[in-house]
Amino acid sequence: MTLNKYIRDIQDFPKQGIVFKDITPLLANPQAVKECMALLINNLQDKNIDKVVGAESRGFFFATLLAHKLNAGFVPVRKPNKLPYDKISVSYELEYGTDKLEMHTDAIKPGERVVVHDDVLATGGTAKALCELVEQAGGIIVQCNFLMELSFLNGRKKLEGYEVYAQLVY
């Protein structure tokens, strides 16, 4: 199965010049999701993962599925003022703008082995911020895991030193 065909390119969304990678066709197809999961999880099965961290909001979909398959916990990292409990936060840059991300202080325990997941690796700002949050909490990053990598934006460079896996590279 070619997973490519379940990713829909939307020109100029959310603003001029951006080609938005829409994963809703993939999410709507259970066979494609199953196949996608098998590939995403391929080299994580024997790595004793304690937590899978997902970035709001499109990172949540596959991060929760991955956590379930790996028998690990799921941790949501959210935009400001969404999480109800005590938080740590970090600022980051997006392909289109800047923002802040937050995580609960008790979400990761020191020494826990963590996979961070998002749908798209673009400039790498979001993923770097996820890694910083996990490390602030004392977690160990085992892998940065993505459905897609926009390689022309060099996000991997920002993640130097971390294992990076992207299923589809554009």
- Catalytic residue IDs: 58, 95
3-state SS assignment for residue 112? coil
Residue 53 touches ligand AMP, criterion: CB under 6 A: no
Residue 35 touches ligand AMP, criterion: CB under 6 A: no
Q: Is the dihedral of CA 25, 38, 168, 48 positive or negative?
A: positive
Q: Which of 75, 123, 137, 139 binds ligand AMP (CB under 6 A)?
A: 123
Which span sits near ligand AMP by CB under 6 A: 39-47, 74-82, 124-132, 136-144?
A: 124-132
Residue 63 touches ligand AMP, criterion: CB under 6 A: no
Instruction: Provide the pairing of β-strand 51-55 with 113-121.
Output: parallel
C-beta of 82 vs 109, nearer to ligand AMP: 82
Q: Which of 62, 125, 147, 166 binds ligand AMP (CB under 6 A)?
A: 125
3-state SS assignment for residue 4? helix
Residue 155 touches ligand AMP, criterion: CB under 6 A: yes
Integer Cα distance of 85 and 107 in angstroms: 10
Nearest one of 112, 117, 169, 162 to 137, comparing CA atoms: 112
Q: Which of 1, 28, 38, 94 binds ligand AMP (CB under 6 A)?
A: 94
Query: How many whole angstroms from its chain centre is CA 102?
Result: 14
Contacts to ligand AMP by CB under 6 A: 18-21, 55, 58-59, 94-95, 118-127, 155
